[in-house]
Each structure stands twice: as C-alpha cells, then as structure tokens.
Amino acid sequence: MRDIYRGVAVLAAVAAGAAALVLVLPSGPDEVAAGPVAAPSAVPSSSGPAAPSPVPSSSAPAASPSASPTATPSPGSSLAPGYTAMQALYADPRVPRLTAEVKRMRLTRPAKRYVKDKRTGLAVPRLAAPWKAHGAAPFTSKQVLPRTRGAALRGLFVTCPLPIQEQDKPRDTALLAARWTLNHHPKGSRITWLASQPVKRGWLLVYRVTYRKHQSRAAVVVVDGGMSKPGLAFVTVPDTQRKQWRDIGRVVSGVRALG
C-alpha cells in the first residue's frame, strides 16, 4: 500500500507541472507570452454593429471643421456639424461659384412710385400693371403677376428682413440669400449667375433659375435699411411671363434704404 500511495503522489506532481506549463506557454506563434494586454476601447457585442476602427478610411472625411477651419467640402458632399454657412454654400451643387467673369448690369432710371416697407427699412418700386399688390404674409410686402393658365408659377416680388445669417461681406450675404430663394422655385432648380455688383449699403445679384424644361429670371438685393437685420428684396418671373423679365431691371435699380 505504501508503494501505491507513493506512485499516486508522483503522478499528481507530474500533472501539476504540466498544468503550469500550459499556463505559461503561448498557444500560438502570434501571441505574446509575457506582459499585460490592454483591453480594447470598445468591444462589439454579437447582437450589435461592430465598433468603428480608429484608423480613418479613404472614404471618410479628412478632418472635421474644428480641426481644419479652412477645409471646404466638395460640391454635393454631406456636411458635418460645424461647417460655416459659406462652406455649406460652396458645397451646394445647385449654386455655382461667383467668378469675376460675371459682369455688372446697367441700372435703369429709379422708379417714380415706391412701396415703403418700414419693417425692413426699404423702399422698393411699385411695379405697373399687370403687377398688383397682394397679401404680404409671410413677407412684409408682396407684388404678384396674374396667374397664367396651365402654369404653376407666376411672377413674385417681395421684401422681408434677411431670412439667413448675415455675413461680414455684403456679397456673401447676397449669395446666401440667392441660395435661400431656391425654396421658392421648383425642386431641383439650379442657378446661373447673370450679374453681380455693389449697391449703396448692400449688394445685388441677378440670375437664371433652371428647372426641368423651364427657367425663371430672378434677383436679390440685400440692403442695410438701418434695422436689426438688413432688408431683402427678391423678385422672380417664370418664362411663361417672360414679357415681364424687363421689370427685374426696374426692381434692382429702385431698391433703396428709407433712411
């Protein structure tokens, strides 16, 4: 019996040594045997999506706006929070860059009759028939052309306090205002610049808006009327009423500050 117990003790010692060897040795050639291993920052669960890799891929944005203030998104790209209003403008494929090739237009004689809009601090031309005054809401003044049979759009001339963020340069403010006016044109409309120039206390832009097989002529004039926000005058006339395109020149020539 004594020999049997001695043999059992020997076997137990051999087994313990083997277990210790398994715990020390790596299980494969790519593993590290010594030293603690840091836990990953996020471990994906079997029921949820995998955590994103910290290494940026070629399809991800190069940097956020806060990391690179001068970065400008390419046309049509999605915008991350933090981009400036002008960067958003430059990324909009509906609005081309305003280059030096866009010339000034010759302004006509000032109008003889005016509409005084005290909420914007602007005086704007009162256009002759077939234009007529219309209920202003949600604007502060409105003139319209009669509806044309079979056409969804009609001429519109309105004023309101600037509905977008004012920029340091009047030209940039006018650009953002022109982009905003696409809300009042059919979906998918695109701008082509026709004229750009400074006016007293502001800036004017004249442009063509193309949509499907049609187009409108439009203009914005942004002028500081002495109120908390600059005033905006916006006119658009569809090609179904192209005879009134000449009135756009009268509008941009006649907008002025009341004070």
CATH code of 114-257, in short, is 3.10.450.630
pTM of the predicted model as reported, rounded to 2 decimal places = 0.69
pLDDT in tens, 82-141: 789 999 999 999 999 999 999 999 998 878 899 999 999 999 999 999 999 999 999 999
Question: Shortest CA distance to 164 belongs to which of 155, 152, 173, 172?
Answer: 173
DSSP for residue 226? S
Helices (H), the chain: 2-24, 85-90, 170-181, 246-254
Query: Higher confidence at residue 204 or residue 11?
Result: 204
- The residue ranges of every structural domain in the chain are 114-257
Question: Shortest CA distance to 204 belongs to which of 243, 241, 230, 178?
Answer: 178
**From edge to edge, which strands make up the β-sheet containing 122-125?**
114-117, 122-125, 256-257
Phi, psi for residue 125 in degrees, rounded to 5 = -60, 140
